[in-house]
Amino acid sequence: MLRALIWDVDGTLAETERDGHRVAFNGAFEALGVPWRWDVDAYGRLLRVAGGYERILHDMASRAEAPASQPEREALARELHRRKNALYEAHVAAGGIALRPGVRELIDECIDWGVMTAIATTTGRGNVDALLRANLGEHWESRFRAVVCAEDAPRKKPDPQAYRLALQRLGIEADEAIAIEDSPNGLVAARAAGIATLVTRSAYFADCAFDGALAECDDLASPAPLRSSVVRGARGPVSLRSLREWLAFAAGGGWAACGGRAEGVGASQGNR
């Protein structure tokens, strides 16, 4: 039985990476007089490294002009990351980044029907607060039964720490939840915690393989067919009803266990 949806943030709730975090990093470089800039493609490659602070340190390793000692590099990375977060939060607070299609509707549907929602992210709480305050209002946190951020779960995805802590705070078992993710690292983290995962592909991970996902969609509101190893004929838009059906079907062994007799399961488009 589906009792909770657990949401990733960056790339999942909103397209924050390309036009939010990347731009803020470049602003931080400029503010400190650091002669580096991350273009769209370069930042996409850097996303293989989880965590903004860690991303800066990784990039420094290839920069001849980076500080020579590790303590100096770490100090610079901390200050760049601090400034980047401030710039990002200001941009988001000004309404610079909207939620992705279908996100608010699915959260509202869960609230209406008593299904818990939670957040499991390894981005900082300030970033999460800025994004959701701008899009859901001052009392956004009342919509979520649990909010797990970097301060709570410092081990970055693909480590499952954030998801395991979310399950603990929700008081449920892994098979009673569905995670919603956009990246391969996020999928690995959720699956390592035993949680079935819906992937809503974001700009930077549109062409990645998501082996083991419950289903994959371009966005939650799209009526297009979904890729799914569990159900044949699954289509969007994603609703609470379809998620319940897919989870129940997966628990029963999925398409393979039915010998091909389950075509169309999960394709219904009711709002509940």
Q: pLDDT tens across 179-216, in order?
A: 999 999 999 999 999 999 999 999 999 999 999 999 99
Active site residues: 8, 10
| N residues, the chain | 272
Superfamily of domain 4-15+98-257: HAD superfamily/HAD-like (3.40.50.1000)
Q: Where are the domains of the chain?
A: 4-15+98-257, 17-93
216: left (phi over 0), alpha (psi -120 to 50) or beta: beta
Is 17-93 in the same CATH topology as 4-15+98-257? no
% of the chain residues with pLDDT over 90? 84
- Residue 254 has what pLDDT? 57
Stated pTM of the model: 0.86
> Which CATH architecture fits 17-93?
Orthogonal Bundle (1.10)
